[in-house]
Chain A
């Protein structure tokens, strides 16, 4: 059984096709990467799968259930979470509270018990706080537990987004350029973090520009060009694929 199945997915913005007739499946437990030149439609694919955009046509199945067009909060309930390329941290909260929001679905979310602050709300919040702090420590953010989210350095914000997404206890995590803007040392650390997430049983869909990172950790790679399927396979297969080299790596080489 595949965890995620995308069939003939298309999305156009005012006549411009950002994604066209794209199909692929992701098996549970895999690290699946999508690469492609700038403007290839990678982030659009992430936005379609996570429910930020509605597809123009095509269908998306999560655990063999049709989830096409469901809002993000419904998808989160089914076990899909993501991080954002342009950070979407809750800057009006502490780092810890950001992660606690990620755990929202596993808390008592009813209005009246909250209003009356019933004992189980207090207990639940205390447990949530401990859980969030442990999760932060596990992604290397132990020093920032009590910091305001807006005071965190860029690399830490990236990790905070990952911790927040993991707090939803996802089955699948969409990582949109987790290494963008990081220095080589930070990128290596993110590499280890992603491997750890996959080893923990969370399927990873990775969109990333850093080729070394992608080639090193991906079980399968999908190459997009102008919103279309160009190739897919394992890292060695992709590296040898002449079309990929021509459209993508070759293009870059020529520029140099």
Chain B
């Protein structure tokens, strides 16, 4: 029999425990609100980390996919009376197709060029959301009907918390599975050396496209849930700064660490709330975090801590 306590299983159990116990410490609606936002951000970051941390492909436009999912849900449920679950899946499918079409040309780019390409993609999405006033309400945003699942409506913070927490756990489980498989090794090989990966029989373009689509779909799903949860969305959800925020979360938590992505999302969702009085300096904070991490802790929090623990044990 294999050992019961592998790092991946231990991590999953720990995450489940944190999600289960956390409500004991959440005292009011605001606390729940922050916890739910952490969960939604973490879902995006776990996907983004597959792309950036494992496959080594940067994206500065993922907030665009998040916003597209949010708007798909808002428009399909609000204006076309789709059931929310169908709208959520429809949005994810549309974003999946869109990202699939974009992925091939854009992932031919490398390094700075890929960053620029995805940046442009995010900006285009943001412009469309702002300009298509008929469809999206333009810069004023639009209201979103509440989430109803086969007649059941998650009302109240605890229900939403459980829903998002469960989804986060599932996302982390799927991501860990993927990484610990031939597909995951192929993705990491692409990061290590694309040339060598190709020589080993890995169709690098195909894997890059796959992981790009997966990360885009996760962002879209999270965006859909966010839209229903908050009841109102605006193009700000898809802005460039949101994309940077997401990347900073991944970098802070630790590239190529699924739990790192969750930790990064948690820290950088909470800290701006604590510093609400200094709201004007939020961008400054994210910039400083990004710079500091690059200079002092390039691996990110979780991988650095793990390394420290391993060395201690020796």
Max chain B Cβ within 10 angstroms of own Cβ: one of A90, A92, A101, A128: A101
Interface status of A42 (Cβ within 8 A of chain B):
no
State which residues 190-243 of A face B: CB under 8 Å: none
Kindly state the separation between the CA atoms of A73 and B198 in the bound complex, as whole angstroms. 5
Q: Assess whether A114 is in contact with B181, with CB atoms less than 8 Å apart.
A: yes
Q: How many A-B residue pairs have CB under 8 A?
A: 105
Q: Assess whether B201 is in contact with A104, with CB atoms less than 8 Å apart.
A: yes
Q: How far is the CB of B221 from chain A (nearest CB, A)?
A: 14
> Of the 9-residue stretches A20-28, A54-62, A80-88, A151-159, which lies at the interface with chain B?
A80-88
Kindly list chain B residues whose C-beta atoms are within 8 Å of the C-beta of A92.
188, 191-192, 256
**Which A residue sits closest to B203, measured CB to CB?**
A73
**Which B residue sits closest to A113, measured CB to CB?**
B181
Q: Assess whether B177 is in contact with A71, with CB atoms less than 8 Å apart.
A: no
**Residue from the list B180, B196, B197 in contact with A117, Cβ < 8 A:** B180
Q: Could you mark each residue 116-148 of chain A with 1 if its beta carbon is under 8 Å from any beta carbon of chain B, else 0?
A: 110001001100100000000000000000000
Q: Assess whether B192 is in contact with A90, with CB atoms less than 8 Å apart.
A: yes
Interface status of A66 (Cβ within 8 A of chain B):
no
State which residues 157-211 of B face A: CB under 8 Å: 174, 177-178, 180-186, 188-189, 191-193, 195-204, 210
How many residues of chain B have a CB within 8 Å of chain A? Answer: 27
Measuring CB to CB, which residues of chain B are less than 8 angstroms from any residue of chain A? 174, 177-178, 180-186, 188-189, 191-193, 195-204, 210, 256
**Which B residue sits closest to A107, measured CB to CB?**
B182
**Residue from the list A73, A90, A93, A128 in contact with B201, Cβ < 8 A:** A73
Q: Assess whether A115 is in contact with B193, with CB atoms less than 8 Å apart.
A: no
Q: How far is the CB of A96 from chain B (nearest CB, A)?
A: 11
Q: Assess whether B202 is in contact with A125, with CB atoms less than 8 Å apart.
A: no
* Cross-chain pairs A/B with CB under 8 angstroms, 22 sampled: A51-B198, A76-B199, A81-B199, A82-B199, A84-B196, A89-B196, A90-B189, A90-B191, A90-B193, A90-B197, A92-B188, A93-B185, A93-B189, A97-B188, A104-B186, A104-B201, A104-B202, A111-B210, A114-B178, A114-B182, A115-B174, A121-B181
Kindly state the separation between the CA atoms of A50 and B174 in the bound complex, as whole angstroms. 35
Kindly state the separation between the CA atoms of A104 and B181 in the bound complex, as whole angstroms. 10
Kindly state the separation between the CA atoms of A52 and B195 in the bound complex, as whole angstroms. 8
**Residue from the list A71, A88, A114, A124 in contact with B196, Cβ < 8 A:** A88
Q: Could you mark each residue 33-61 of chain A with 1 if its beta carbon is under 8 Å from any beta carbon of chain B, else 0?
A: 00000000000000000111000000000
Q: Assess whether A109 is in contact with B193, with CB atoms less than 8 Å apart.
A: no
Interface status of A162 (Cβ within 8 A of chain B):
no
